[in-house]
Amino acid sequence: MAETTTHENHYVAKDFKSDQEVRWCPGCGDHGILTSLQKTLAELDIPKEKYVFVSGIGCSSRLPYYMNTYGFHGIHGRAAPIATGIKIANPDLMVWMMTGDGDALAIGGNHFIHAIRRNIDIKIILFNNEIYGLTKGQYSPTSKKGLVTKTSPYGTIEEPFKIGELTIGASGRFFARTVDYNLQLSNEVYKEAALFNGTAMVEVIQNCVIFNDGAHDLITNKETRDDNTIVLRHGEPMIFGKNRDKGLILENLKLKVIKIGENGITEKDVLVHDAHEPNPGIHYRLAGMHLPEYPAALGVIRSIKDHTYDEAMRDQHVKVQEASKIKSVDELLRSGATWKK
Amino acid sequence: MEKRLKVIEKDDVVIRFSGDSGDGMQLTGTLFSTTSALFGHDISTFPDYPSEIRAPQGTVGGVSGFQVHIGHKQVNTPGDYADVLVAMNPAAVRANARYLAKGSTIIYDSDSFTEKQILRAGYKSDPFIEDKLDGMHLIAAPITTLVKEALKNSELDPKSILRTKNMFALGMVYWLFDSKLKYTEDFIEDKFGKKPLMAEANSKVLRAGYYYAETIQAIAPSYRVSPANIEKGIYRNINGNQATAWGLLAAAEKAGLKLFIGSYPITPATGILEEMALRKDLGAKSLQAEDEIAGICSAIGASFAGSLAVTSTSGPGFALKSEALNLAVMTELPLVVINVQRGGPSTGLPTKTEQADLWQALYGRNGESPVVVMAAGTPSDCFYYAFKAAKIAVEYMTPVVLLTDSYLANGSEPWRIPSMSDMPSIKVPWAEKTDTAYLPYDRDPVKHSRKWAVPGMEGLEHRVGGLEKTVRGSVSYTPENHEYMVKIRDAKVEAVAADVPDLKVIGSKTGDLLVIGWGSSHGHVVTAVTELQEEGYNVSAVNFNYIRPLPNNTAQVFEGFKKLVVCELNLGQFANYLRIKHQKYTYHQYNKVQGLPFTVREIKDYCIIMLEEK
């Protein structure tokens, strides 16, 4: 994890705005993500030059240009290995990876699962709009089955990836979900991701106003969102609903939505969220909840402490350097079998 | 067979150890090479093994060979033909029959010459008669029986006992060359330190082989090769992959940079990653990436963050890296890409050698994509060219492709160890904070290289990426800006010529024929031409290590000769490149695409034809 410095950095969100004109479509969810991130960084006490924003290709991946920090706009699908190389080269940096559902899960799927498995300390913000935007409207690996797009004119016949399940299945230690324009929740989630030591994976429910408008409508519009989402916070009971009268319980190893006060169920029966539980079972179930049977889970669903890749590498280097007699290239060249002429 | 004690004094001898891929021939050959090198011979080695870990036993396809050329004079190649063949089974005889010198000695395990094994090797009757080898010095040694006898009191299981057969053969060869057993005995003790039974068995069998050869000396000639008279210094044996890795470590130390390697295992390049993974003591950071693309992308990331970044691979992996290599071209970050070439296309011949990725390195990417392309000439050369590749990459802020190949990677030779104080300095073009804003693509007026600002440097925050940029680092699709940037990136790579040493002509600067090689053709081309010169022919040679840009004196050298012939292990890629770059000349070609290096003989034969043609 990037070290916070002792001197105070009094940043405001504006300090993180670059001189580049933001070119996303008006109303695009990406604007909300950018704003929340800039606000989050201003609240962290980390010198600006220690941030690196890395991306692949797609609408999401333009974000580094708009962030007044070090930035690397990579190639399609490869943000994770670029970010990995940066973090290994200089573990003192805080590395953020901006990606989308196509970039991270189609062309970059392999890198995505391996970054998570290694638990390298990078923050992945995955903009999930369930569509290819920059190429103008083809289905993505998270498009709902049956979605009609330019490359699926009769509806997709593919089962989508569920990002939370994929992350936890790849040994993910941190998984959170937020919504593009829920600035308060996003700020909360991004901050937790920033302070988490290890691969922090954040899925952002993001709306593409042009090619997949309203894909997330049931969980984002004011009328239905409170009944269709549950915000999980560590140590708090899993209660949700417009009237805060619904909750989650575990029954026969399955999650179940109940109404508090009905069938003798009280608040005490409702599950309490433990984001730090190493066993992934409950987190997997929470991350996988989907409408109409369940609300979609938001907030930090899983956050467990573990050794990171960069720490393990540092430890191994220290150990080997202490034990080895070779301290310079000259010594290396003269090690082993040599002879004099 | 001769019934007398015979000692042959020779300037050089070629020995080939050959057996099943599980017979331990690579180790046997390596031990013999090091022993010879320690004695003071000049040597050159070449392993030739199948890509299968354990190909069907006893078949020609499963034969694993290790050839070593030892000499009193300078040795540039592993040798065309073997003077001594150690054959652990009939298949080893079949596979090597055509690579034997006249009057060579064949030591073979007669116990393995059963009817079944003879048939498996594709013979119908007596292998030596069928392959017309009955005139050679045949030494039939019942190695299996003798090993069992030597270890009859050992507590080792029968399988482990049979695995010491290679040590028996090695013992015999040591007697043949009057070599000392000490290095091998030390090696055995070191390797089997924790298994005293194995250590004891191997040592015992090694000595048994030595004494057996002494006992039967009356039937075989033995060889004496005096130590080579080479430059004073401290020497070691080194192979191409190790030399490559060490050259990069040396460059990182010299430049004061951290070294990062992101690679994916691939034959025959894996040794570089393995060597680097060992070097945590020198601070080298290695990532075994999830694939070839992640390998190069992690290296690009590390380069952006200020490391000397490297990715190593072979042809198929290099193909996968091409998109990312262009990202390094566009972002103008230092990056060293090592392609240890092997037989292609596709999976091709994974363990065999070829020089057919030259065009891939020069041209195999979208858009106008200039990179520096270099090629090492000998196994130990890989150290200097890896160092130089890193120096150019950093000083010019550019990706550099260094081509080696299977022949260099696995081949070894004695190497006079340099001192780090003698290596050239590497100047890192760090950006510094000034009163004016940092412009990522502002350039050095001569080198055209940009300045390197890395995350963590206060006030130099900037963005790079694969999209075309202006000098300020803003995305731009302006027609004139794009053309300017395309041209300046090209000019930057061409400017590297200022740091490319002139070609050195071996022989006279004018003459009837110039033999042109590149990269690993070095040893065979130089040996063939030197021998031809000794035989009175008016012929010279050059070997290119810098492909893009070419040395400044290229045309000047070509001008001195009536005929030019380009020798390379492909269908003419370098010859065609020269046709583009120096159109004035006629280039004859001598090509070979068999997965094998040249032989000196075939180059000489072709040169003689060229010289005699009017």
Domains in chain A: boundaries: 13-236+275-314, 239-272
- Dihedral angle, C-alpha A212, A216, A222, A227, nearest 10 °: 160
pLDDT for A4 beyond 60: no
> How confident is the prediction for chain A on average, in pLDDT?
95
Give me the pLDDT at residue B220, please: 67
* Contact yes or no for B29/B47 (Cβ under 8 A): yes
* CA–CA distance, B312 with B338 (Å, rounded to integer): 5
> Does B258 reach chain A within 8 Å, measured CB to CB?
yes
Query: 3.40.50.970, 3.90.1170.30, 3.30.1300.10, 3.40.50.20: which CATH number matches A13-236+275-314?
Result: 3.40.50.970
Chain A: closest CA distance from residue B258 (Å):
8
| SS3 assignment for chain A | CCCCCCCCCCCCHHHHECCCCCCCCCCCHHHHHHHHHHHHHHHCCCCHHHEEEEECCCCHHHHHHHECCEEEECCCCCHHHHHHHHHHHCCCCEEEEEEEHHHHHHHCHHHHHHHHHHCCCEEEEEEECCEECCCCCEECCCCCCCCCECCECCCCCCCCCCHHHHHHHCCCCEEEEEECCCHHHHHHHHHHHHHCCCCEEEEEECCCCCCCCCCCHHHHCCCCHHHHEEEECCCCECEECCCCCEEEEEECCEEEEEECCCCCCCHHHCCECCCCCCCCHHHHHHHCCCCCCCCEEEEEEEECCCCCHHHHHHHHHHHHHHHCCCCCHHHHHCCCCEEEC
> Is residue A6 very low, low, confident or very high in pLDDT (cuts 50, 70, 90)?
very low
Residues of B within 8 A of A71 (CB-CB) are 461-465
Domain boundaries, chain B: 6-224, 236-422, 511-612
Q: Which helix (H) or strand (E) holds B568?
A: strand B561-568
Tokens 């992690």, residue located:
B298
Q: What is the per-residue pLDDT for B219? A: 59
Query: How sure is the predictor about A8, in pLDDT bands with cuts at 50, 70 and 90?
Result: low
Q: State yes or no: pLDDT of B55 exceeds 90.
A: no
Question: Which of B246, B289, B304 lies nearest to residue A81, judging by beta carbons?
Answer: B289
For A49, the closest chain B residue by CA position comes to B456
CA of B449, closest CA in chain A: separation in Å? 19
Q: Tell me the three state secondary structure of residue B384.
A: helix
Whole-angstrom CA distances from B588 to B259, B362, B606 are: 42, 21, 11
The CATH class for the domain spanning B511-612 reads: alpha beta
Q: Which helix (H) or strand (E) holds B299?
A: helix B292-304
Please, are residues A175 and A165 in contact by the beta-carbon 8 Å criterion? no
How many residues are given for chain A? 341
- Going by pLDDT thresholds of 50, 70 and 90, the confidence category of residue A187 is very high
Q: What is the mean pLDDT of residues A269-296?
A: 97
3-state secondary structure of B543: strand
B 486-525 near A (Cβ less than 8 A): none
Q: Is the pLDDT of residue A9 over 90?
A: no
Diameter of chain B measured on Cα atoms:
90
- Provide the pLDDT for residue B228: 85
The number of CA neighbours under 13 Å toward the Cβ of B39 is 25
Eight-class DSSP state of B3: -
Integer Cα distance of B132 and B119 in angstroms: 17
Tell me, what's the ipTM? 0.96
For residues B177, B183, B186, B188, the Cα torsion angle rounded to the nearest 10 degrees is -50
Using CA of residue A101, residue A107, residue A113, residue A116, what is the dihedral sign? negative
**A115-136 confidence digits (pLDDT tens):** 999 999 999 999 999 999 999 9
If you write DSSP's letter for every residue of B409-465 in order, what string do you get? HH-EEEEEPPPGGGSPP----B----SSPP-TT-B-TTT--B-B--TT-TT---EEE
Task: Give Dmax (Cα) for chain A.
Answer: 93
- CA–CA separation, B70 and B379 (whole Å): 16
For residue A50, which residues of chain B lie inside 8 Å, CB to CB?
455-456
- Domain B6-224 sits in CATH at 3.40.920.10
Same-fold call for B236-422 versus B511-612: yes
pLDDT (mean) for B311-339: 98
Looking at CATH, the fold of the domain delimited by B236-422 is given as: Rossmann fold (3.40.50)
Question: Does any CB of chain B come closer than 8 Å to the CB of residue A221?
Answer: no
- B270-273, long-range: CB < 8 A, 24+ apart: B270/B241, B271/B239, B271/B241, B271/B242, B271/B245, B271/B409, B271/B410, B272/B241, B272/B244, B272/B245, B272/B312, B272/B338, B272/B340, B273/B312
Which of A82, A114, A118, A334 would you mutate first to test chain B, the one with the most B CBs within 10 A?
A82
At residue B549, does pLDDT exceed 60? yes
Confidence of residue B6 (pLDDT cuts 50, 70, 90): confident
Is the pLDDT at B547 greater than 50? The verdict is yes
Nearest Cα neighbor of A203 from A172, A235, A226 is A172
Does residue B294 belong to the interface with chain A, where contact is any CB pair within 8 Å?
A: yes
Q: What is the dihedral of CA A35, A39, A44, A48, to 10 degrees?
A: 60
Q: How far is B35 from chain A (nearest CA, A)?
A: 10
* Least reliable range by pLDDT among A82-96, B221-235, B389-403: B221-235
Type of residue numbered B116: K
